[in-house]
Amino acid sequence: MKSFQMRENIKGFEFGTPIDTEIIYGDKTYGFEELPMVLKFEDSNTYLKFLLGQDDRVYGLGPNMGGINKRGRRYEAYCTDDPLHHEDKVVLYGAHNFFMIQDNQGVKGYFIDFPSRIYYDVGFSDRDAFSIHIHGKDFTFYIIEGDTLNEIVTKFHKMIKKPYLPPKWGLGYFQSRWGYKSEEEIREIHETFKGKDLPLEGIYLDLDYMEDFKDFSISKERFPNFKQLVEDLKEEGVRLVPIIDAGVKIEKGYSVYDQGIEGGHFALNADGKPYVAAVWPGKVHFPDFLQEKTRVWFGDYYKVLTDLGIEGIWNDMNEPAIFYDEDSLDEAVTLAIKAKGKNLDVFDFFDLKDKFQNMGNKDVYYQRFFHRLHGKSYSNEDLHNQYGYMMTKSASEGLRKHLGKRSLLISRASSIGMHAYGGIWTGDNSSWWSHIELNLKMLPTLNMSGFYYVGADTGGFGGNCSGELLCRWMQLSVFTPLLRNHAALGTKPQEPYAFGEEVTGINRKLLKDRYRLIPYLYSQLLMHHRLGGLMFTPLSFEFTGREALDAEDQLLVGEEIMIAPLYKPNAQGRYVYLPEEMVLVNFKEKPEMMVLKEGVRYMAYALNELKFFLRKNKLMVYGEESLNVKTMRQDQLNVLGYVDTKANFTLWNDDGDSFAYEEGKVFKTKIMVEKLASGHYDISVNSQDEYLKIIKVMLIDSDNNIFEKEVEVSNLK
């Protein structure tokens, strides 16, 4: 074991020969410190245990089931394609090995830099123990010290690369569905949104646009004028975002396949031949994204799409998902043939059924193919969690090269490190009420791992959505940076207009409200890109007391507002915990505000409203409603404030689609409000934003007095 120190209060312990995951950055000063806990090595595994006190809490571990406090469950870090997120699932698409433990001594952060499987038992088998089982002996273990949870998160963010920043249009509303099968259908959807006065930023294209599910192909039959379609829609401010899957169809004459073979770009089996698995198109090879030359080669393929005007991509099935491989299919078919004409008892029948039913994503598949990294060969299992990450890196670099500006990029599989290259959608959730709550609870955890451009399939992917469920989900999703309504093939229509006039009207308001919130949300992304820290903060990170610890279904969004979404059917309101005096904002065209004392209170929340809370002596900025980002007003903003003494707010903005922010080219607007002894307010606004001219301010004080004023912006050079 080698130990090292990184900056202040960050220690690392290197065991064996860790694989270079490109996650942690910074200078290391090597020393001889002992790990302050006991590790046990057995065969090729490592075991580690923390003792937990009665009220100790554990945070982090990425996109998983369960609460914000991770205690009481098991988790597995091993990117997996599982479309049914039942309550007892322990593993989903992401493998994020950052976590924090809070005990009565204080807080500590930990990161295990290891790209294969890790099991976490967080007080499940034994309530007083947090046991970790690492499937290997080569890893680096980091300990991050600090005074508060927020401080540790920020320190961790300084150890990893800066996060991916989408173009501003990435914050608009996107419509998606597996099954939008033709150019006509896409145009029709756009026309329907337009006709119904519903905002629309873009439409995601699922694999229906491809020819036989081949990456970088476009069906001539169903999308004969793809380029024209992209152009026509873009003119109206609407973009198309096609999907790209990890598996490349095996087909002679298909250039991606031919070049992949020729260039040695595919992952190999034990005999040194390209490994064969099956996904959507049938048999495929997997690009070996661990090789730099393959990342460049595959990344360049995105040019096929950018040349057609595409500026956004979703990378899917990159755990990688495997429906079956040749050996497993043979085994199952042989068993089925043997069973023909036989009288199968329960065990034989179950055996046969399971052979087919459990054929997807079997552990053994990931031992059967190999990657080349820095001149060495590793099985996929050895570095499994790097795969989706490296596919996204490939796409990110290819898109940057060929587009020359920012692109929208999301991935399904993820691990920390990928946060620098793309965002995440949380995969195949379902149209279940419990998944709204799950969506809410994942948000701060994803931020802890460095991911900000995140969101769930609003309305739910699997199963059928109702109008009520969609509206309630939207009341949460209007706050998530990625806002996309997506549904599975064969489910009932789920577009905002699919549930009759009343629901369409409610969705219209919510979508327009989303556009009003974009300046605030985008400012959050820019600011956190630079400074790290949480955009979605659990109440327990900011306030003390039992209620704050337990209020896991409420979140702070930025430092200014608190959301408390409703996630129960037939409810007209819910209980909310106010950790301090706050203003309840009913976000109508002219917002209604009311001061509420701290404590637990019932909040009426109708389906057609959008409500949130504004903290005391805080301001929040919002814009005007719009149908897309392109037509958003830039000369005027609104400010809501709850000010008894004074409050400041800095709004971050930039050009929205170049990389100039990397050189610090952001424009800040500083708003300062002070309540004078006379009861009047002193308001000043200084802005580096040349387009901004007027700010309409609406303030409330503790006595519910409302004050309104239009302020001219003095532009700073």
373 closest CA partner among 256, 297, 294, 261: 294
Considering the complex, what minimum distance in angstroms separates the CB of residue 345 from ligand GLC? 35
- CA 570/CA 516 separation, integer angstroms: 28
422 closest CA partner among 717, 127, 170: 170
- Annotated catalytic residue 397: no
Considering the complex, what minimum distance in angstroms separates the CB of residue 375 from ligand GLC? 34
240 to 279: interface string for ligand GLC, x by CB under 6 A: ---x------------------------------------
Residue 56 binds to ligand GLC (criterion: CB under 6 A): no
| CB closer to ligand GLC out of 179 and 309 | 179
- CA 701/CA 605 separation, integer angstroms: 23
Please state whether the peptide bond connecting residue 493 to the residue before it is cis, i.e. omega within 30 degrees of 0: no
- CA 28/CA 2 separation, integer angstroms: 11
278 closest CA partner among 320, 219, 331: 320
| CB closer to ligand GLC out of 206 and 609 | 206
Considering the complex, what minimum distance in angstroms separates the CB of residue 203 from ligand GLC? 13
Considering the complex, what minimum distance in angstroms separates the CB of residue 83 from ligand GLC? 6
Considering the complex, what minimum distance in angstroms separates the CB of residue 494 from ligand GLC? 12
- Annotated catalytic residue 457: no
548 with 540: CB under 8 angstroms?
yes
Residue 323 binds to ligand GLC (criterion: CB under 6 A): no
Residue 427 binds to ligand GLC (criterion: CB under 6 A): yes
Considering the complex, what minimum distance in angstroms separates the CB of residue 428 from ligand GLC? 5
Q: Tally Cβ neighbours within 10 Å of residue 196.
A: 16
452 closest CA partner among 443, 464, 440: 443
462 closest CA partner among 435, 494, 434, 488: 488
Q: Among residues 183, 319, 560, 701, which one is catalytic?
A: 319
Residue 553 binds to ligand GLC (criterion: CB under 6 A): no
633 with 626: CB under 8 angstroms?
yes
Handedness of CA 581, 587, 593, 599 (dihedral sign): negative
Residue 428 binds to ligand GLC (criterion: CB under 6 A): yes
In degrees, rounded to 5, the angle at the alpha carbon of residue 582 between the alpha carbons of residues 577 and 583 is 120
Residue 476 binds to ligand GLC (criterion: CB under 6 A): no
| CB closer to ligand GLC out of 247 and 656 | 247
Q: Which residue is nearest to ligand GLC (CB)?
A: 178
- Annotated catalytic residue 428: yes
| CB closer to ligand GLC out of 212 and 331 | 212
Residue 412 binds to ligand GLC (criterion: CB under 6 A): yes
Q: CB neighbours of 271 closer than 8 A, spacing ≥ 6?
A: none
137 closest CA partner among 200, 205, 46, 58: 46
- Residues 67 to 86: which contact ligand GLC by CB under 6 A? 83
| CB closer to ligand GLC out of 121 and 457 | 457
Q: Tally Cβ neighbours within 10 Å of residue 212.
A: 13
Q: Would you give the DSSP letter of residue 268?
A: B
Q: Among residues 76, 245, 325, 428, which one is catalytic?
A: 428
Considering the complex, what minimum distance in angstroms separates the CB of residue 12 from ligand GLC? 35
| CB closer to ligand GLC out of 214 and 618 | 214
Report the DSSP pairing between strands 173-175 and 483-485: parallel
505 with 608: CB under 8 angstroms?
yes
| CB closer to ligand GLC out of 412 and 435 | 412
469 with 477: CB under 8 angstroms?
no
- CA 670/CA 688 separation, integer angstroms: 9
- Residues 192 to 221: which contact ligand GLC by CB under 6 A? 206-207
| CB closer to ligand GLC out of 325 and 457 | 457
What Cα–Cα distance (Å) separates residue 492 from each residue in 447, 462, 487?
Answer: 32, 10, 8
Q: Tally Cβ neighbours within 10 Å of residue 616.
A: 17
What Cα–Cα distance (Å) separates residue 596 from each residue in 614, 671, 704?
Answer: 10, 24, 10
Considering the complex, what minimum distance in angstroms separates the CB of residue 310 from ligand GLC? 17
618 closest CA partner among 564, 559, 697: 559
Secondary structure of residue 241 in the 3-state scheme: strand
Among 215, 311, 316, 689, binds ligand GLC (CB under 6 A): 316
Q: Among residues 113, 183, 208, 316, which one is catalytic?
A: 316
Size of the site for ligand GLC (CB under 6 A): 10
Considering the complex, what minimum distance in angstroms separates the CB of residue 462 from ligand GLC? 9
Residues found near ligand GLC in the complex (CB under 6 A): 83, 178, 206-207, 243, 316, 412, 427-428, 486
Residues marked as catalytic: 316, 319, 428
